[in-house]
Amino acid sequence: MQLRAVDERGTERVDQRRVGSRSMALRIMAAATAVLLMAGCSDRPGIDALVPVSAPLAEGAREQVILVASTRERDPRPGVFFNGERSAQLNFAKIDLSVPPSHRPGEIEWPKNGLGNPATDMVVREAIYRDTQGEFLRDLKSELARRPAGKRNVFIFVHGYNTMFSEALYRLAQMATDSDAPAVPVLFTWASRATTEGYVYDNNSATAARDQLEETIRLAFSSGADQVSILAHSMGNWLTVEALRQIRISGKTLPANKIGNIILAAPDIDVDVFKTQLRRFGKPPKPFVVVISRDDKALGFSDFLAGKKPRLGEYANDTELVELGAVVVDMTDVKALDSFNHGKFAQLAEMAPQLQGTIARAGGTATSNTVQLQGVRITGLDQARAAQPSGPVLPSATTSAPAQ
């Protein structure tokens, strides 16, 4: 039914604004329904996924200490810790977890029924809020001091849209375990409501968190770390590139010798917007690593909402991205562990050492600008080597970051 109104001359006319609003609402509802149907019965953690478990550590289990900076509200409910609402201030936490000996690379072993079992599940051992920036920084320095000299690195993970706090936390634990990297894992978690229909709320929450991510990045660099790397996923890329852009134009830039890998995984950014960001940012001294997959169904949902404008994470022109200052990691031919093909980046953690070896062996050959291994195609290696001639192009077990 059309929505009509009467103008000042008494002529009936269609209220285009209301029609447009109704049309957009219908588009969002249709797209959300399609995504939910594609998701089927995919597992998500329960409300008690973060209830600390006091059972003895299982033999062969791996321990992970993750530091948290968050723009989410604290939540007093047991097992929740942070919810999806926005906080007026940046909150901090320290969380100890264990990863079971039966862990499979790329997978998250969720606690299934109430309290998890350390022998079969990822579980929280201890979770502590930190009230101040100073307490967070002390934790970070303490964790760095436990690492060998020369490997005192920080790895910041920024999650994407439709993500619960527990999902982001366990994903980072999975990546840190699979990569076997010595870096201190830091989770920057912004206020996602973790619902498909919350796309606009999540996008606004990500935008509102730019200053707090900048604050977290600067804290990491002030910790005395040898290097700081950043991995952003999905909508977290919009937030990350914006924060890096405002750091760049602030005049208070980051020390170039301490910048590790900047990895943009499945970026939910309009390609034209990304181009304008980089024009203002300037060609980065060390290329961004852009992880794409052209069969990403979640980014197809974003395309639909954006009026069929392509997202960076499924862009087809590798050459243009390389010219903008990127190394392109194309995972289109990799079989995903999720039904959306949106989480392939998490599988890179285990593959990184092999990819790094392949890249090293390709050096000096006529086709060394592009290499391929296990379905992963990497383009833009020449400029990466020029920017970092003595170091690795991709994260590996000896570098500062796992590649989620």
The answer, yes or no, to whether residue 308 has pLDDT greater than 70, is: no
Of the pLDDT bands very low, low, confident and very high (cuts 50, 70, 90), residue 146 is very high
Of the pLDDT bands very low, low, confident and very high (cuts 50, 70, 90), residue 392 is very low
> DSSP strand E in 108-201: where?
123-130, 153-158, 184-189
The answer, yes or no, to whether residue 397 has pLDDT greater than 60, is: no
pLDDT value at position 357?
62
How wide is the angle at C-alpha 404 spanned by C-alphas 54 and 294, nearest 5°? 140
**The pairing of beta strand 326-330 with beta strand 288-292:** parallel
The answer, yes or no, to whether residue 6 has pLDDT greater than 60, is: no
Of the pLDDT bands very low, low, confident and very high (cuts 50, 70, 90), residue 383 is low
Burial of 188 from C-beta contacts in 10 A (0-12 / 13-18 / 19+)? buried
The residue-averaged pLDDT of 325-350 equals 87
The residue-averaged pLDDT of 51-70 equals 94
Tokens of 22: 């109704």
User: Which range (78-82, 114-118, 148-152) has the least confidence?
Assistant: 114-118
pLDDT value at position 384?
66
The span from the CA of 295 to the CA of 224, in Å, is: 40
> DSSP strand E in 212-356: where?
227-233, 259-265, 288-292, 326-330
The length of the chain in residues reads 404
Of the pLDDT bands very low, low, confident and very high (cuts 50, 70, 90), residue 362 is low
The answer, yes or no, to whether residue 30 has pLDDT greater than 60, is: no
Q: Residues 197-229: pLDDT tens digits? A: 899 999 999 999 999 999 999 999 999 999 999
Structural domains of the chain sorted by starting position, each given as residue range(s) with its CATH number in brackets: 4-39 (no CATH), 62-387 (3.40.50.1820)
pLDDT value at position 228?
96
**pLDDT winner (highest mean) among 26-30, 263-267, 379-383, 398-402:** 263-267
Q: What percent of the chain has pLDDT over 70?
A: 79
Tokens of 189: 């978690």
Long-range CB pairs of 382-389 (<8 Å, 24+ gap) are 383/287, 383/322, 383/325, 383/327, 384/286, 384/287, 384/327, 387/285, 387/286, 387/287, 388/286
The span from the CA of 85 to the CA of 355, in Å, is: 39
Instruction: Compare 10 and 266 and report the one with higher pLDDT.
Output: 266
Instruction: Look over the chain and give the mean of its residue pLDDT values, rounded to a whole number.
Output: 83
The residue-averaged pLDDT of 54-68 equals 94
